[in-house]
Amino acid sequence: MKYTKLGNADLKVSRICLGCMGFGDSGRGQHSWTLDEAHSREIIQCALELGVNFYDTAIAYQSGTSEQYLGRALRDYAKRDEVVVATKFLPRTPQEIENGISGQQHIENMLNTSLKNLGMDYVDLYIYHMWDWNTPIEDILEGLHNVVKAGKARYIGISNCFAWQLAKANAIAEKEGFAKFVSVQGHYNLIFREEEREMLPYCEEENIAVTPYSALASGRLSRLPGAQTKRAAEDTYAKFKYDATEQQDNVIIKRVAELAEKHGVTMTEISLAWLLTHATAPVVGATKMKHIEEAVGAAEFVLPGDEIAYLEEPYIPHALAGVMAQNKPSEANQKHVWSTGDQKIGGSEDE
């Protein structure tokens, strides 16, 4: 496994981050295809053995059970100071706003719940999951700075934002003496490259780590067009993100398959090898042992420049989808694609 520094943070991370959205109680969240604890532990243990030290989860994933599975597995299979754990918090709920819960108190409540789920005293990276239009960014930044000062989070990151939002937030943080965002986790892969317009150049200029999610486009970049899996059949969110552009995306996916056959590797390895030329550490989900094995293999595979260009050439601009399509003031009071489910947030209501 290859390792790198996470932007401006003093964190050494594997070039592959294991995304834990696929772990958790399938009856308690957005997804029906998630793995139970026993199978989740097998994959986490395998990832550790292969040198993966970077793990990404969220309180929103299956109502906190993803955090619980990850925390218990890492406690049994790893030393705490040898892994980098990231989790995320959601925007304030309408009920919290009505009850006068500030952004700062909300962040403290959310992180306390996540730490309890993980069974940890701190997280290495605490991520602002999506822009909260109902809460001033100054309130968010001060709340995040407070948890960093308290030692509950070592660094902070952001997800699902525009480059201008990240630039604005870090400018305010610098002015106020608050902790700055050291990483950004956006929707980025070979068939969805809108982050290249402004986000990637900005991050390169500011040395902000890029840790994209949907690295394999919910599996579309790891299999031939038309191939079906249980997740492909049941993941309505992924269908929402990709079905409208299927025809144009398939041109690229077929080129991935062509290069995989040429090199005698998997489509996963080709797709991630391309992404690794643009990103610090892609967040890669795994629901089978081979998924993490292939992802780790990609970190060792180098695509020649002409093949990178060959993969990129057919791309056609895409409309925003999913969380980013909702990142605007008119959507502020609508329900996001991620919701808290039955996860109780804050204070004495913690599970």
Dump pLDDT digits (tens) for 37-88. 999 999 999 999 999 999 999 999 988 999 999 999 999 999 999 999 999 9
Using 50, 70 and 90 to split pLDDT, how confident is the model at 331? low
Percent of the chain as helix, strand, coil, to the nearest 5: 45, 15, 40
* Structure token pair of residue 119: 């069974």
- CB of 63 closer than 8 Å to CB of 290: no
This prediction has a pTM of 0.91
Measured distance CA(55)–CA(67) in Å, rounded: 10
**Mean per-residue pLDDT of the chain:** 91
Q: Is 302 strand, coil or helix?
A: coil
**Candidate list 61, 128, 202, 213, residue with the active-site label:** 61
Work out the pLDDT band at 308, boundaries 50, 70, 90. Answer: very high
Tokens found for residue 166 = 């990240």
User: What's residue 242's pLDDT?
Assistant: 73
Residues 32/22, Cβ–Cβ less than 8 Å = no
Annotation marks residue 69 as catalytic: no
φ, ψ at 18 (rounded to 5°): -80, 115
